[in-house]
Structure 1
């Protein structure tokens, strides 16, 4: 099994946190979004992951090195591919077309999920879907009486289905997808200035490929600050259910209370503080005299005498005496 992760977008809705760090490398529950994504996919795959291809923009050498390490942590080879123009989802997948051979999963790196199904290698394809209350803002699937997917409808204004596509797809034969993606490019099948993956999926179904839904029990978006903080909360709950140790042994907790679940990273120092529930604190950060709930704090940041809730604080920030509900980027100093 191979995985292609298109992730070249700028992540503008999550600024300022994506000004210095690509969105898929922003941590939730102490681990980058993309790392959790590929772990989740590995959990539903029957076969081992051989290679993970990351389709990126100009992220820099350090980010590329981190992505390769993510793949290697799952026992897979990592490779980097570039999408230099924002030409759509179909074009993004085709940027790693050498991996489109044999079984492949395509997963867009701005979502996390929880599921209890396994990929059946006999199926032509599987689309991860989530039942939602208002499907008008999403792409949805249309099925026949045998629960086979027969069409893909983008943002339906009249009811078609309440099963939204979450951006993760399995293909039994990647070469078939590669052929249809190239058809879109060669014949300029374009919408809104972009080549769209659902157009290739539709051509595959018209040629007799049978796609089935893989229903997820939870779908966590990481597109902006509010939903990313919520995703952090849910991920911490998942990890607690799995009995994963969330407090690093090197952390120093002095005259402080940690209300679980919380992720406390390597060499974190807590002094005279109350932290939690649902707080993640990155390596090397220091919290003094503070009360913090439902917040993501990244690495090497210092907080003093603050009360925070529903917030995100970046790397190498210094925050003192600030109000509630913040979204503070990397290398910021606040003294209010």
Structure 2
């Protein structure tokens, strides 16, 4: 059972909570599950990352009730089942968490199978784009490439490598240009960090897609690409698994973005007024700068040509291959301005 401090209680959430509250609980507890309970702490249902992503794809809003994404009939275990049997049940059903409930269905525990403790090695390559000049971060980047800016006592890009390594990634490729020698001097061949690192050296900026055209060795399987200035708690391995599961050629991680119009909107048809909206909320999805790609996408890039990632996705679509989105809700920060850098540093303060 769970230790005396009952960390599973961090996953409890009331029935009247919103989707935003559920996402906050997932991110804060780190347990990868929300246990939605009534006033007697009887289990109403569960919410996982997958439930949130499916809800986002259906257009569920952040302020909608959790009932919109609730899994109402989750598998549960009785309190007298030993941990080894519980792990066998979880393994056979592909589950990482299983609630423990009593006869009144009150939550009294949570079995966890944390795969990150002993992650299986992933043969997939991870490409990190680290060649930009970071002009919006001047003067911080005057003598330091943006991915090497210190956050929490280490270069920003090192956080990305460590998170990926914790998920089993061992092979990395850095695309470098501006002050690229500083990255090579710090990381070398990667052995000091327990990984392998190769380099794509851009003589001029080629864009995220164009840099991939410099790859000398085509990956044997799907690979992950991320911008070197994006810090997130997203699990790179889950993006890759999602990509494979949906039989996609190119997958783009996207985040929901909400913006409230500052004015009342008037709808018209010609000169006739057809309706009004008072400061409507505009919902959209933005590119999070993280991708999963099949090796075949490299056929759409000429060596040495400039190509950004949206253009590459359009080329893949034009070839009638599948391109999809991976909806993410995890904490995410694109460190592009001085204020973003301060936010990143504040988040990593010890």
TM-score tier, shorter chain, comes to 0.5 to 0.7
Structure 1 residues 26 and 9: alpha-carbon distance in aligned structure 2, compared to 1, 3 A threshold: same
Once residues 260 and 208 of structure 2 are traced to their aligned partners in structure 1, the CA distance between those partners, rounded to angstroms, is 20
Contact 1:126 1:214 (C-alpha < 8 Å) held by counterparts? no
Once residues 96 and 214 of structure 1 are traced to their aligned partners in structure 2, the CA distance between those partners, rounded to angstroms, is 28
Quick check: 1:111 aligned with 2:230?
Answer: yes
Give the deviation of 1:135 after TM superposition: 11
Give the deviation of 1:180 after TM superposition: 1.4
Deviations, residues 262-297 of structure 1 (Å, cap 9, x unaligned): 3xxxxxxxxxxxxxxxxxxxxxxxxxxxxxxxxxxx
Matched residue SS, 1:203: helix
Structure 1 residues 60 and 111: alpha-carbon distance in aligned structure 2, compared to 1, 3 A threshold: closer
Deviations, residues 314-334 of structure 1 (Å, cap 9, x unaligned): xxxxxxxxxxxxxxxxxxxxx
Greater fraction helix: 2
2:302 corresponding residue in structure 1: 182
Matched residue SS, 1:54: strand
Give the deviation of 1:160 after TM superposition: 9.2
Contact 1:40 1:113 (C-alpha < 8 Å) held by counterparts? no
Matched residue SS, 1:98: coil
Matched residue SS, 1:9: coil
1:201 corresponding residue in structure 2: 313
Give the deviation of 1:78 after TM superposition: 0.7
Structure 1 residues 196 and 210: alpha-carbon distance in aligned structure 2, compared to 1, 3 A threshold: closer
1:130 corresponding residue in structure 2: 255
2:172 corresponding residue in structure 1: 52
Once residues 158 and 132 of structure 2 are traced to their aligned partners in structure 1, the CA distance between those partners, rounded to angstroms, is 17
Matched residue SS, 1:168: strand
Structure 1 residues 210 and 184: alpha-carbon distance in aligned structure 2, compared to 1, 3 A threshold: farther
2:328 corresponding residue in structure 1: 215
Structure 1 residues 227 and 93: alpha-carbon distance in aligned structure 2, compared to 1, 3 A threshold: same
Once residues 208 and 161 of structure 1 are traced to their aligned partners in structure 2, the CA distance between those partners, rounded to angstroms, is 27
Give the deviation of 1:211 after TM superposition: 2.2
Give the deviation of 1:24 after TM superposition: 0.4
Contact 1:177 1:204 (C-alpha < 8 Å) held by counterparts? yes
Structure 1 residues 183 and 14: alpha-carbon distance in aligned structure 2, compared to 1, 3 A threshold: closer
Deviations, residues 46-74 of structure 1 (Å, cap 9, x unaligned): xx3242111111526443121336x4355
Once residues 49 and 133 of structure 1 are traced to their aligned partners in structure 2, the CA distance between those partners, rounded to angstroms, is 33
Q: Higher Cα Rg: structure 1 or 2?
A: 2
Number of aligned residue pairs: give it: 201
Instruction: Give me the CA root mean square deviation.
Output: 3.0
Quick check: 1:85 aligned with 2:204?
Answer: yes
2:151 corresponding residue in structure 1: 28
Once residues 114 and 180 of structure 1 are traced to their aligned partners in structure 2, the CA distance between those partners, rounded to angstroms, is 30
Deviations, residues 175-204 of structure 1 (Å, cap 9, x unaligned): x1101123994xxxxxxxx42221221232
Kindly report which structure 2 residues correspond to 1:246-325, keeping only aligned pairs within 5 A, or say none.
262=350
Kindly report which structure 2 residues correspond to 1:135-146, keeping only aligned pairs within 5 A, or say none.
none
TM-score normalised per structure 2: 0.51
Give the deviation of 1:168 after TM superposition: 0.8
